[in-house]
Amino acid sequence: MDVTPPLGLLAELTHRCPLHCPYCSNPVSLVSRDAELSTADWISVLSQARELGVLQVHLSGGEPLARADLPALVAHASSLGCYVNLVTSGLGLTSARLDDLVSRGLAHVQLSAQGATQERSDLLAGARAFDHKLAAAALVKASELPLSLNVVLHRRNHDQLAGIIELAERMGADRLELANTQYYGWALRNREALMPTPSQLAAAEPVVRAAVSRLRDTMEIVYVVADYHEPYPKPCMYGWGARQLTVAPDGTVLPCPAASAISTLSLSNVRDTPLAEIWYQSSSFNAYRGEDWMSEPCRTCDRRGVDFGGCRCQAFLLTGDAAATDPVCSRSPRREVVDLVLTRPPESDLVMRR
Amino acid sequence: MIAAGSVPALRRGVRLSFDHVRETHVLLFPEGVLVPNATAAAVLELCDGARTVTAITAMLGKRFTGVREQDVLDVLARLGERRVVAWT
């Protein structure tokens, strides 16, 4: 098939993070500090990524501010012509650090929030985080960079949805991402405690719709549905190896941020293989490109060009076969594994990220 | 109401640049990339937050033949709907 250059790079600079969110989608086993790529490694990754066609660079983690070389990486990505996005908890973002990053070409900040109130937010973050987030949002606004607020939704904060939208308005966010939890990595361990109820999802729909309409001219709202409750799967990554790649803190290159979960996949690393070779030739990036890998019912499905068979990681995690139809799909012969999860009684205990 | 005297500018956070890998103009903004066609790119390059649509049309008229103000307005209206252009 015809492979086109990637548009985006998710650079996971570190797995270190001051928060302990139970919905964390990073792997259960994290990369330790001494296994992280060096500054020179990341400079090379960024140069190779731009040469390959990458235009959007998302500096993420963990908490990217935990890397002392963040200013150098922002400056390099920006000098290459990339649009540089900082994905942060806000903890550790001071006025001096932000001013420095802006002067080096930072283009956009995506800030996370866990709830609408200090009490709930700090409970879900497992840290005193809420006040830092308000302060970080104010700094970003003062810098005149665009601000996105990103909130992961689940059973423990859906009741605060209207308050979360008001929080985004108070912060002056230009974009608000309201994303129902995706069950990968640590989040999968907490699935039965995080799964929203059908009534929570039903209540959210008119609240989001009204806010989208009311804030049309000031704030873009993106709502990511709870896919277990949907009849069709999400069009994960707009196709495997199609638009974006992820580089993990240790240099592992992933076609999808959750792909390290697919144990049958042989992943390449930037420490020993050029990024372009990984994008175009590696077995991992070619494994589920296009449609040749599909079996029935995807192979002849009229939706295969819409959702690409759904998420490969979810197919692997729930069925053991990464080439299976995403079992979220109502046409999947394995949909019962998802329905079974939805009928389970809720788990009361959340296991905080550690 | 957008009119010939209106002043378009790239919305905050939107950058227009040239991608030497794809050899085309690109519009970069939070979480997105758009590839404007040659006409849109020519119009966007002149959106500096000071020029009116009339002024932009006049400048395009020196580079290209048959530039009409209504066409420039239509291009800018579409870019406004896609949250690329704001009006001051």
Of the pLDDT bands very low, low, confident and very high (cuts 50, 70, 90), residue A36 is: very high
Cβ <8 Å between B33 and A56: yes
pLDDT tens by residue, A128-143: 999 999 999 999 999 9
Residue type, A155: R
Mean per-residue pLDDT, A73-90: 98
Taking CB atoms and an 8 Å limit, are A55 and B26 in contact across chains?
Answer: yes
Under 8 Å between Cβ of B61 and B45:
no
Are β-strands A268-269 and A252-254 bridged in parallel, bridged antiparallel, or unpaired? antiparallel
Is there a contact between A175 and B30 if contact means CB atoms under 8 Å apart? yes
pLDDT at site B31: 85
CB contact under 8 A, B29 and A146: yes
Question: How many C-beta neighbours within 10 Å does residue B26 have?
Answer: 20
Q: Has residue A321 got a pLDDT over 80?
A: yes
Nearest Cα of chain A lies from the Cα of B65 at a distance, in angstroms, of 32
Q: Which residues pair with A60 in a beta bridge?
A: A12
Of B13, B32, B83, which is closest to A145 when you measure between CB atoms? B13
DSSP A17-84: -S---TT--S-SSPPPGGGSPPHHHHHHHHHHHHHHT--EEEEESS-GGG-TTHHHHHHHHHHTT-EE
Sequence-distant (≥ 6) Cβ neighbours of residue A4 within 8 angstroms: A53, A242
Contact (Cβ atoms closer than 8 angstroms) between residue A148 and residue A140:
no
Scan residues 47-76 of B and list those with Cβ closer than 8 Å to A. none
The 10s digit of each residue's pLDDT in A296-314 is: 999 999 999 999 999 999 9
**Which pLDDT score, from 0 to 100, does residue B59 have?**
95
pLDDT band at A173 (very low <50, low <70, confident <90, very high): very high
A62: cis peptide before it, omega within 30°? yes
Quick one: closest CA in B to A48, which residue? Answer: B21
Q: What's chain A's average pLDDT?
A: 97
Rounded (5°) CA angle A47-A70-A86:
90
Cβ–Cβ gap A108/B13 under 8 Å: yes
Is the confidence at residue A236, as pLDDT, over 90? Answer: no
Asked if residue A289 has pLDDT above 80, the reply is: yes
Task: Report residue A324 as tokens.
Answer: 């299976």
CA A194 to CA A181: how far, in whole Å? 8
Q: What is the pLDDT of residue A340?
A: 96
Closest CA to A16 of A86, A71, A64, A70: A64
pLDDT band at residue A153 using 50, 70 and 90 as cut-offs = very high
Q: Searching chain A, which residue's CA lies closest to the CA of residue B12?
A: A146
- Which CA distances in Å does A316 have to A31, A258, A265, A297, B35? 22, 11, 10, 16, 35
Query: Using one digit for the tens of pLDDT, what is the confidence trace for A176-208?
Result: 999 999 999 999 999 999 999 999 999 999 999
* Distance of alpha carbon A312 from alpha carbon A301, whole angstroms: 17
The pLDDT value given to residue A140 = 98
Q: Is residue B17 less than 8 Å (CB to CB) from chain A?
A: yes
Cα distance between residue A57 and residue A275, in whole Å: 15
Report CB contact under 8 Å: B13, A51.
Answer: no
Provide the pLDDT for residue A347: 86
Q: Is A344 exposed, middle or buried (0-12, 13-18, 19+ CB in 10 A)?
A: exposed
Confidence of residue A217 (pLDDT cuts 50, 70, 90): confident
A107 at B interface, C-beta within 8 A: yes
Position A279 pLDDT exceeds 90? yes
Exposure string of A228-252, with b = 16+ CB inside 10 Å and e = fewer, is bbeebbbbbbebbbbebbbbbbbbb
What is the CB neighbour count within 10 angstroms for residue B17? 13
In three-state secondary structure terms, B16 is strand
299-318 of A, contacting B, C-beta below 8 A: none
CB contact under 8 A, A7 and B33: yes
* CB of A7 less than 8 A from some CB of B: yes
The answer to whether A56 contacts chain B (CB < 8 Å) is yes
Substitution target from A83, A102, A218, A279 for chain B, most B beta carbons within 10 A: A83
Mean pLDDT across A145-151 = 98
The pLDDT of residue A237? 83
Q: What values do phi and psi take at A192, rounded to 5? A: -70, -15
- DSSP result, A244-305: EEEE-TTSEEESSTTGGG-TTS--EETTTS-HHHHHHH-HHHHTTSSSTT--TTTTT-TTHH
User: Can you give the pLDDT of all 88 residues of chain B as single tens digits?
Assistant: 788 999 999 998 999 999 999 999 999 999 899 999 999 999 999 999 999 999 999 999 999 999 999 999 999 999 998 889 999 8
> Can you read off the two tokens belonging to residue A209?
């719709």
Residue A187 token pair: 């989040």
Mean pLDDT of A326-346: 96
Tell me whether residues A148 and B26 touch, CB distance under 8 A. no
Q: Does residue A18 contact residue A92 with C-beta atoms inside 8 Å?
A: yes
Determine the residue among B31, B33, B35 to mutate to test chain A binding: the one whose Cβ has the most chain A Cβ atoms within 10 Å.
B31
Compute the average pLDDT of residues A97-126: 98
Which residues of chain B from 27 to 46 reach within 8 Å of chain A, CB to CB? 28-33
| Distance in Å, alpha carbon of A108 to nearest chain B alpha carbon | 6
